[in-house]
Structure 1
Amino acid sequence: MCTLSKKDLQRIFQKLDKNGDGLVSLEELNWLLETIGLLQFSLQELESLVGKPCLNLEEFLFFYDSISSNQNEQHVKVGNNVVDEEIKEEEEEESDLVKAFKVFDLNGDGFISCEELQKVLSRLGLWDESCGKDCRSMICFYDTNLDGMVDFEEFKNMMLHTIS
């Protein structure tokens, strides 16, 4: 799972806190988790996990840290043999990348357009409407086949910071 900076998480929290009371409800948190394709819980399961009906910023940051560390645990066994951690890590990384790609590929055509990227970043509170050129240049920078969109391999290279 790609880690987010504290600043990014604060912006996401502020976007989720629609009434400005400094709290994010479980409904809002559940919407975020479903939107990014990370986890799917019923509200009862989420409340049981979180232990309260709303989270303040510090609790939200703690929750993010806890689900991030849970996603990165490497304790997997097949029968009596421990799976090679490096292979398991690559499989999990690929699976996380596929899920992340699907979040951005809004129309499901296998490509991320500038418009799709902008919509998702806007939903997450990571987009400033005055930065239209940045989205296009971001796509162009990672668009190695020059088709004006980012396919999965280009997305994967972008997320792993290994442009070929």
Structure 2
Amino acid sequence: MSLLGTGDLRRIFENLDKNGDGQVSLEELNWLLEKIGIHYSMDELESSIDKSSLNFDEFLNFYNSISSEETMRTGESKSRESNEGDVNQETDLVEAFKVFDLNDDGFISWDELQSVLSKLELWDKRSERDSNSMIRAYDTNNDGKLDFEEFKNMMLFTISR
């Protein structure tokens, strides 16, 4: 799946859904995207979503489309689709990495991970333990932070599960 699990995404969705109607408006979604450093104009968001609000399943689909899941394919050949998917996936991973690399130094530190999760209202004591173990598990050079290749390996492993 992705760096954030379905339970985490459910909590984000419920926090965004201020009126409890089971829908997140484009304004609420845009607010979240701005908080995590992803900038869409409302026109871009409206044209990419083509709806005025999203239910939870649609929210999950949108999240997956911006966090390294391959997007829907055209009717082109399988080999071309695969190559384009690889390029799209790499581009998506670079963009996701930038969201977490707050100081733009080419690494994701534990503090940066905590900061992004806090902005998403996903930070608690359990998250602290999970974040530390997540960085340690994929930090192959043991420098206490993730470079892009380590982040990419973590994301690709998580997606393939």
TM-score by length of 2: 0.73
Distance in 2, matches of 1:65 and 1:11, equals: 16
Give the 3 Å change call, closer, same or farther, for CA 44–68 of structure 1 in structure 2: closer
Is the 8 Å Cα contact of residues 139 and 148 (structure 1) preserved in structure 2?
yes
Compare relative contact order (CA 8 Å, sep 6+) and give the higher one, 1 or 2.
2
Match of 1:113?
109
Instruction: Name the stretch that deviates more: 27-36 or 94-103.
Output: 27-36
Distance in 2, matches of 1:32 and 1:123, equals: 9
Match of 1:142 among 130, 133, 138: 138
Is the 8 Å Cα contact of residues 100 and 108 (structure 2) preserved in structure 1?
yes
Is the 8 Å Cα contact of residues 143 and 154 (structure 1) preserved in structure 2?
yes
Match of 1:16?
16
How far did 1:155 drift?
Answer: 0.3
SS in 1 for 2:144: coil
Distance in 1, matches of 2:35 and 2:75, equals: 27
Distance in 1, matches of 2:43 and 2:73, equals: 28
- 2:29 is aligned with 1:29: yes
- 2:87 is aligned with 1:91: yes
Give the 3 Å change call, closer, same or farther, for CA 26–150 of structure 1 in structure 2: same
Match of 2:72?
73
CA distances 1:95-134 after superposition (whole Å, capped 9, x unpaired): 0100110111111111000010011112223332354233
Identity of aligned residues (%): 49
CA distances 1:65-112 after superposition (whole Å, capped 9, x unpaired): 3674695122286xxx98722211111110010011011111111100
TM-score by length of 1: 0.72
Instruction: Flag structure 1 segments of 5+ consecutive residues without an equivalent.
Output: none
Instruction: Flag structure 2 segments of 5+ consecutive residues without an equivalent.
Output: none
- 2:103 is aligned with 1:104: no
